[in-house]
């Protein structure tokens, strides 16, 4: 077995030696080089092509964050693990924006370091294979044609209404287009899609993850429950501890299976930058980044927008303002702060929305003439989804060059 090639970067020689000693007895790893500063790390990354780079943050000249950003641009096949004595959220955010895959805080144990390197390496290897640009013409034709569109709803701030919008848009698409629509609740610890649509899910995505056989269409659909509108729902785990059964690889396989058999796959995500969520965002044709008119949500969306730009998601991202009202931050100020125009707005209507949730009946059905319901129909166009009689497909998924894993 070819060992994992590791480049160690730290401005302190003794620290580099300590890390090498921690990895000495790992038979599946090989330290192929060491760098004393960021510029040297960038040069060695190009020369040695390591699988994983351990990168210190505080170094003279070009620091670890700057080096990570350069390497992510010039050698995107390398996975970078930031290693630092600082554990503050600001350092995490900077590392994520620069393109790091993992962030570890010193001191490190040998088992912790080795397991992290293996996990990051396996994740990066899968992504390099999945998103590599085809070299030979035969490779292009051998890939199955993508049929459906994946639309994900994301926000790192809770309470923005992404589940409500995802459910109503799924129902709207199924009724208006008469096409196959799947709704996946992959907010693994706190998913509410089944409750919101009043369906009794006997099996969930965690039950599906326990299956030892491959993710065939028949297997996946056996765990999905139909809604009265025809939407097929894959429910979130029934309890938070069951979420641990669902790995990023399961999410990837489920999406790969459904995308060739459904016209639309809508995904409600968890409010975190997890490996599973990154697989969802990688596969998405449209990412609906949800926004409200308050300062805290604006901060979250601004940070997410920066990270999405780094990860090459920007062209697929649509910022959707939910619960729009005369109160709160004005739309003009939101757009100025985010330096972009909003893709869509959903008006606030607490009475209609709350009634729909409590009844378990989407407001696009229960209150079809309400302004908030009409805005969901408009959302189909705002998100560049197909019209009912239009069978033309979009350009498909863009190549993702830089990813991170937390």
Q: What is the pLDDT of residues 99-109, one digit of tens each?
A: 888 888 888 88
Which whole number is the average pLDDT over 71-99? 83
Identify the weakest region by mean pLDDT among 42-51, 177-186, 272-281, 396-405: 396-405
Q: Where in the chain is the domain with CATH 3.40.50.2300?
A: 4-131
Evaluate whether 234 touches 183 at the Cβ level (below 8 Å): yes
Q: Which residues have CB under 8 Å from 70's CB, separation 6+?
A: 38, 42, 62
| Percent share of the chain, pLDDT over 90 | 57
- 54: nearest Cα among 101, 111, 1: 101
Fold that domain 4-131 belongs to in CATH: Rossmann fold (3.40.50)
- 29: nearest Cα among 99, 118, 94: 118
Q: Where are the alpha helices (DSSP H) in 49-109?
A: 64-74, 89-98
Which whole number is the average pLDDT over 198-215? 86
Which whole number is the average pLDDT over 230-253? 91
Q: At residue 384, does pLDDT exceed 60?
A: yes
Identify the weakest region by mean pLDDT among 120-124, 150-154, 314-318, 359-363: 120-124
Confidence of residue 139 (pLDDT cuts 50, 70, 90): very low
Burial class (CB in 10 A: 0-12, 13-18, 19+), 208: buried
Q: At residue 132, does pLDDT exceed 70?
A: no
Which whole number is the average pLDDT over 324-343? 93
276-305 pLDDT, tens digit per residue, is 999 999 999 999 999 999 999 999 999 999
Confidence of residue 170 (pLDDT cuts 50, 70, 90): very high
Confidence of residue 137 (pLDDT cuts 50, 70, 90): very low
What's the CATH architecture for 149-382? 3-Layer(aba) Sandwich (3.40)
Q: Where in the chain is the domain with CATH 3.40.50.300?
A: 149-382
Q: At residue 389, does pLDDT exceed 70?
A: no
Confidence of residue 395 (pLDDT cuts 50, 70, 90): very low
Q: At residue 333, does pLDDT exceed 90?
A: yes
> Mean pLDDT across the chain, nearest whole number?
85
């Amino acid at each position: 077995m070819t060992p994992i090639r590791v480049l160690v970067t730290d401005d302190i020689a003794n620290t580099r030696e300590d890390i090498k000693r921690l990895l000495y007895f790992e038979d599946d790893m090989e330290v192929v080089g060491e760098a004393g500063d960021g510029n040297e790390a960038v040069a060695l990354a190009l020369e040695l092509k390591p699988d994983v780079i351990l990168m210190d943050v505080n170094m003279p000249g070009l620091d670890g964050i700057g080096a990570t950003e350069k390497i992510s641009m010039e050698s995107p096949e390398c996975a970078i693990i930031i290693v630092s004595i600082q554990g503050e959220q600001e350092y995490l955010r900077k590392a994520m924006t620069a393109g790091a895959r993992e962030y570890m805080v010193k001191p490190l144990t040998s088992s912790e370091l080795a397991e992290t390197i293996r996990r990051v390496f396996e994740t990066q290897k899968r992504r390099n294979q999945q998103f590599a640009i085809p070299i030979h013409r035969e490779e292009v034709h051998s890939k199955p044609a993508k049929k459906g569109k994946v639309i994900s709803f994301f926000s790192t701030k809770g309470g923005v209404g992404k589940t409500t919008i995802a459910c109503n848009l799924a129902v709207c698409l199924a009724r208006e287009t008469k096409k196959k629509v799947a709704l996946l609740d992959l907010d693994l610890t706190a998913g509410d899609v089944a409750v919101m649509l009043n369906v009794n899910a006997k099996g969930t995505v965690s039950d599906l993850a326990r299956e030892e056989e491959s993710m065939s269409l028949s297997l996946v659909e056996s765990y999905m429950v139909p809604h009265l509108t025809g939407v097929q729902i894959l429910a979130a785990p029934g309890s938070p501890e069951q979420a641990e059964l669902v790995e990023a690889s399961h999410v990837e396989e489920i999406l790969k299976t459904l995308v060739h058999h459904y016209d639309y796959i809508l995904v409600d995500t968890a409010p975190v930058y997890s490996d599973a969520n990154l697989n969802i965002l990688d596969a998405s044709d449209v990412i609906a980044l949800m926004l409200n008119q308050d300062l805290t949500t604006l901060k979250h969306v601004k940070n997410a927008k920066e990270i999405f730009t780094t990860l090459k998601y920007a062209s697929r991202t649509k910022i959707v303002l939910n619960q729009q009202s005369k109160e709160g931050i004005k739309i003009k100020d939101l757009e100025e702060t985010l330096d972009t125009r909003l893709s869509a707005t959903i008006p606030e209507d607490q009475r209609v929305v709350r009634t729909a949730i409590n009844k378990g009946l989407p407001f696009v059905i229960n209150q079809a003439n309400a302004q908030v319901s009409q805005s969901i129909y408009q959302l189909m166009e705002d998100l560049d989804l197909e019209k009912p009689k239009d069978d033309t497909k979009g350009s498909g998924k863009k190549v993702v060059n830089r990813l991170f894993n937390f």
